[in-house]
């Protein structure tokens, strides 16, 4: 049997796949990254660019990767969070004093994160970037996996990581595909500007249709994510900027001042899904290829980045013990533990949606009492923040070492 050309094949060079490659770039592992789309430098920052909300744990992971110093130049810090239920009395206020960190999270343009990660990949001697190309087929044996690409390459490896968000057919060919449950709402996203500086506060306001989130960016800008029924989302997409801002003002109120500008609007379907089994035939799914969650708690990309950190621990253990990372018995142990953690996040985010979209008087009263109870309890605030910031429970090395630094 010929020796595999690579120790690790990463299928998908997006933010999660690139983060995994960067996390292993200073090792003796030989890594191939296969990406369908060209890594082109994107344009200068614009008012309309897409953003990601990073948890504190994700910042720590990026610190361990040595890239946070470059990412933070365009990161808007979240110092406090205001949670409320529109038209009701329930309110919870959370801030850095409850956990002792300099921020609770950050809002960063995806363009910035991608550019920093790709720059690190280009300078890594143990990483080969195969782009633009796409895996069209795969074959596995007891000792290796072979990925065949549309451009005719045959790439041998010990294990393949599916990090393409589930967009390709290769996962389905290996019985790795999400059982997706679609929500009845959609997320309308945009960048909006108010006439006041943000004061680094994020807002989560639960309306009759679902959560309306405003996340502070630099200056007076906020990243908006507004959960709406499909009909309402379509109506607001076709409205004028002035009409849109007026409806947003009415739904949110004047807590951040008056909305004076909006960027391009986009609508995304909302869904919930995760694989019952995340590995098969020496292939392991991570990120959105393995799980899709509602954005209400901002856990989507952060959950994928936690996959990266947990897999790094797994690879290091396999190297230390001279074990095959693609062998089924080893992947079974890893997957069982990882699935437990993911399922907790899935239940937590789906539970929030269920609780805050129920319109019965009893549920409404209970959730508002709950919000006020949390607001009066420092211990409850700390518990909630540690969970949403990704720093509760047993932590992987990439988070743990940054905490201790």
C-alpha of 168 from chain center: 19
What are the residue ranges spanned by the domains of the chain? 6-180+271-404
What is the β-pairing status of strands 221-229 and 211-216? antiparallel
What's the CA gap between 155 and 139, in Å, rounded? Answer: 10
Helix 397-404 to helix 300-320 angle (10° resolution) is: 100
What's the CA gap between 399 and 35, in Å, rounded? Answer: 27
Contact 244, 251 (CB under 8 A): no
Q: Which of 305, 260, 332 is nearest to 402 (CA)?
A: 305
Secondary structure (DSSP) of 273-294: EE-S--EETTEEE-GGGTEE--
Which single residue is written with the structure tokens 């744990």? 57
Which single residue is written with the structure tokens 């142990």? 333
* Residue 288, pLDDT score: 86
User: Which value, to the nearest 10 degrees, does the dihedral of the CA atoms of residues 6, 8, 11, 13 take?
Assistant: -100
What's the CA gap between 108 and 52, in Å, rounded? Answer: 5
* Residue 43, pLDDT score: 44
Strand, helix or coil for residue 221: strand
Q: Which of 210, 189, 204, 179 is nearest to 346 (CA)?
A: 179
Q: Which of 77, 66, 55 is nearest to 116 (CA)?
A: 66
Strand, helix or coil for residue 10: strand
pLDDT along the chain (405 residues), means of 10: 76 95 94 87 58 94 96 94 69 87 93 94 94 93 93 95 84 76 82 92 84 89 92 96 96 93 90 80 91 65 94 96 95 90 71 52 48 64 82 90 77
Beta bridge partners of 283: 160, 280
- Looking at the domain 6-180+271-404, which fold is it? FAD/NAD(P)-binding domain (3.50.50)
What's the CA gap between 245 and 347, in Å, rounded? Answer: 33
């Amino acid at each position: 049997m010929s020796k595999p050309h690579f120790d690790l094949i990463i299928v998908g060079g997006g933010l999660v796949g690139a983060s995994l490659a960067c996390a292993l770039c200073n090792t003796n592992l030989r890594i191939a990254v296969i990406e369908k789309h060209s890594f082109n430098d994107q344009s200068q920052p614009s008012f309309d660019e897409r953003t990601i909300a990073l948890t504190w744990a994700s910042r720590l992971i990026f610190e361990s990767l040595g890239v946070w110093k470059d990412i933070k130049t365009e990161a808007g810090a979240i110092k406090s969070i205001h949670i409320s239920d529109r038209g009701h009395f329930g309110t919870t206020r959370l801030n850095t004093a409850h956990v002792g960190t300099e921020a609770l999270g950050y809002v960063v343009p995806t363009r910035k994160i991608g550019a920093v990660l790709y720059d690190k990949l280009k300078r890594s001697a143990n990483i080969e970037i195969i782009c633009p190309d796409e895996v069209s087929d795969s074959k596995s044996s007891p000792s290796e996996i072979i990925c065949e690409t549309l451009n005719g390459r045959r790439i041998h490896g010990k294990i393949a990581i599916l990090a393409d968000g589930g967009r390709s057919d290769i996962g389905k060919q290996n019985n790795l595909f999400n059982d997706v449950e679609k929500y009845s709402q959609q997320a309308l996203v945009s960048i909006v500007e108010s006439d006041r500086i943000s004061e680094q506060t994020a807002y989560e306001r639960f309306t009759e249709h679902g959560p309306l989130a405003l996340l502070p960016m630099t200056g007076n800008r906020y990243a908006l994510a507004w959960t709406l029924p499909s009909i309402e989302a379509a109506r607001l997409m076709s409205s004028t900027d002035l009409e849109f801002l007026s409806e947003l003002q009415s739904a949110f109120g004047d807590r951040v001042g008056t909305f004076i500008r909006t960027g391009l609007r986009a609508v995304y379907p909302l869904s919930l899904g995760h694989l019952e089994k995340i590995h098969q035939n020496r292939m392991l799914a991570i990120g959105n290829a393995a799980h899709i969650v509602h954005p209400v708690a901002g856990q989507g990309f952060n959950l994928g980045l936690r996959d990266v950190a947990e897999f790094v621990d797994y690879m290091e253990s396999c190297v230390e013990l001279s074990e095959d990372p693609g062998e089924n018995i080893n992947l079974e142990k890893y997957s069982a533990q990882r699935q437990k953690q993911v399922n907790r996040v899935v239940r937590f985010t789906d539970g929030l949606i269920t609780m805050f979209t129920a319109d019965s008087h009893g549920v409404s009263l209970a959730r508002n009492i709950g919000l006020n109870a949390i607001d009066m309890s420092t211990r409850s605030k700390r518990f909630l923040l540690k969970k949403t910031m990704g720093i509760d429970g047993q932590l992987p090395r990439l988070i743990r070492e940054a905490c201790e630094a």
